[in-house]
Chains A and B, each alone.
Chain A
Amino acid sequence: MGKSKRIWLLALTAVVSLSVVTACSGPNNAKKNTGTTEPTSAAATTETEPKQDKVTFKIFNGVAGSKDGNTNETTIGKLLEDQTGVNFKLEFVVGDLNTKIGTMIAANDYPDVLIPDAAIEEVLNAGAFIPLDELIEKYGPNIQRVYGKSLNQMRSKDGKIYFLPIAAQVNDFIPEPEAGAGFWVQRRVLEEAGYPKIKTLDQYIELIKNYRDKHKDENLTGMVSLTHDWRFFATSNPPMHLMGYPNDGNVTVDTNTWEAKTYAGAESTKKWLKALNDLNAAGLFDKASFVDNYDQYIAKLTSHKVLGFFDYRWQVDNALNVLKDAARKDPSLDGFKYFPLPVTFEEGTPDAYLDPPGGLVTNRGIGITVSAKDPVRIIQFFDNMLTEENQTLMSWGIKGETYEVNEQGRYYRTQEQIDKIDEPFRESFGFKYFSWNWPMYNATSTLADGNAKNVASQPEVFQMTLTDKDKAILEKYGVQTYSQLFAEPVPRPYFPAWGFAKEQNSPEQLWEASKDEMTKKYFPKLVLTTPDKFEAVWEEYMKEFGKLDTAGYEKWTTEQVKAKVELANQ
Chain B
Amino acid sequence: METAAVHKKKRKPPISSSTGDRLFVICNYCFMIALMIVTLYPFVNVLAVSLNNAQDSIKGGIYLLPREWTLANYNYILREATIFHATFISVLRTVIGTVVTVFCSAMLAYTLSRQDYVLRKFITVAFIMTMYFNGGLIPNYLLIRDMGLVGSFWVYILPGIIGVFNLIIIRSFIENLPESIIESAKIDGAGDYRTFFSIILPLTVPVLATVALFSGVFQWNSWFDVFLYNSSDASLSTLQYELQKILQNSNTTTGTSSLDGMIQGATGGQQNAVTPMSVRATMTIVASVPIIMVYPFLQKYFVKGMMVGGVKG
Binding site for B on A (CB under 8 A): 1, 4-5, 7-8, 11-12, 14-15, 18-19, 21-22, 25, 29, 58, 60, 63-68, 91-95, 99-100, 102-103, 106-107, 111, 295-296, 298-300, 302-303, 313-314, 317-319, 321-322, 324-325, 328, 413, 415, 418-419, 421-424, 426, 431, 435-436, 443, 454-456, 461, 464-466
Contacts and interface: CB of A to CB of B under 8 A. Distances in A.
Nearest to B150: A107
Contact of A92 (B60, B92, B228, B248): B248
Contacts of A454: 259
7 contacts: A67-B246, A68-B234, A103-B141, A314-B255, A328-B268, A423-B272, A435-B259
Nearest to B212: A11
Given A8-B201, A318-B58, A435-B259, A95 B244 contact: yes
B201 A4 contact: yes
B142 A322 contact: no
Contacts of B273: 423
B55 A418 contact: no
A321 B245 CA distance: 24
Which 6 residue pairs across A and B have the least CB separation, nearest first?
Answer: A299-B60, A465-B266, A64-B248, A4-B202, A314-B256, A95-B227
A89 to B, nearest CB: 8
Interface in B153-208: 198, 201-202, 205
- Residue among B85, B205, B253 facing the most chain A CB atoms (10 A cut-off): B253
A325 B257 contact: no
A340 to B, nearest CB: 15
Contacts of B60: 295-296, 299-300, 302-303
Nearest to A321: B265
B60 to A, nearest CB: 3
A90 to B, nearest CB: 10
A15 B100 CA distance: 10
A324 B85 CA distance: 39
Given A91-B232, A295-B277, A299-B58, 5 more contacts: A64-B252, A67-B80, A67-B245, A322-B55, A419-B267
B231 A465 contact: no
A103 B271 CA distance: 38
A138 B30 CA distance: 80
Interface string B101-145: 000000000000000000000000000000000000110011001
Contacts of A319: 58
Contacts of A100: 227-228, 231
Contacts of B58: 295, 298-299, 302, 318-319, 322
A299 B59 contact: yes
B213 interface: no
Given A1-B198, A317-B256, A14 B95 contact: yes
B55 A4 contact: no
B87 interface: no
Interface in B197-248: 198, 201-202, 205, 223-224, 227-228, 231-232, 234-235, 241, 244-246, 248
A1 B307 CA distance: 13
B137 A102 contact: yes
Interface string B74-85: 000000101001
B264 interface: yes
Contacts of B263: 413, 418, 455-456, 461, 464-465
B226 to A, nearest CB: 8
B99 A11 contact: yes
A327 to B, nearest CB: 11
Contacts of A19: 96
Interface of B: 55-56, 58-61, 80, 82, 85, 88, 91-92, 95-96, 99, 137-138, 141-142, 145, 198, 201-202, 205, 223-224, 227-228, 231-232, 234-235, 241, 244-246, 248-249, 251-273, 275, 277
A319 B277 CA distance: 13
A418 to B, nearest CB: 5
A18 B232 contact: no
B259 A302 contact: no
B59 A303 contact: yes
B267 A418 contact: yes
B242 to A, nearest CB: 9
Contacts of A321: 55, 262, 265, 271
A143 B31 CA distance: 71
B95 A15 contact: yes
B267 A415 contact: yes
Contacts of B255: 314, 317
Contacts of B248: 64, 92-94
A424 B270 CA distance: 12
Nearest to A26: B235
Given A25-B88, A302-B59, A95 B224 contact: yes
A68 B265 contact: no
B257 A435 contact: yes
A188 to B, nearest CB: 18
Contacts of A302: 58-60
Contacts of A103: 137-138, 141, 228
Contacts of A422: 261, 264, 269-272
Given A103-B228, A107-B141, A422-B272, A325 B265 contact: yes
Given A422-B270, A422-B272, A106 B265 contact: no
Nearest to A466: B266
Given A11-B99, A15-B95, A321-B271, A99 B251 contact: no
A7 B99 CA distance: 11
B264 A29 contact: no
Contacts of B59: 299, 302-303, 322
A484 to B, nearest CB: 17
A92 B247 CA distance: 12
A568 to B, nearest CB: 26
Contact of B252 (A66, A107, A325): A66
Contact of B61 (A299, A313, A419): A299
A426 B260 contact: yes
A15 B96 CA distance: 6
A231 B99 CA distance: 45
B251 A64 contact: yes
A145 B261 CA distance: 30
A91 B268 CA distance: 33
Most A CB contacts (10 A, CB to CB) among B142, B251, B260, B263 go to B260
Contact of A318 (B202, B223, B254): B254
Nearest to B276: A295
Nearest to A91: B232
Contacts of B137: 99, 102-103
A12 B197 CA distance: 14
A321 B266 CA distance: 7
A390 to B, nearest CB: 18
B296 to A, nearest CB: 16
Given A14-B95, A422-B269, A423-B261, A67 B232 contact: no
B160 to A, nearest CB: 16
A55 B43 CA distance: 48
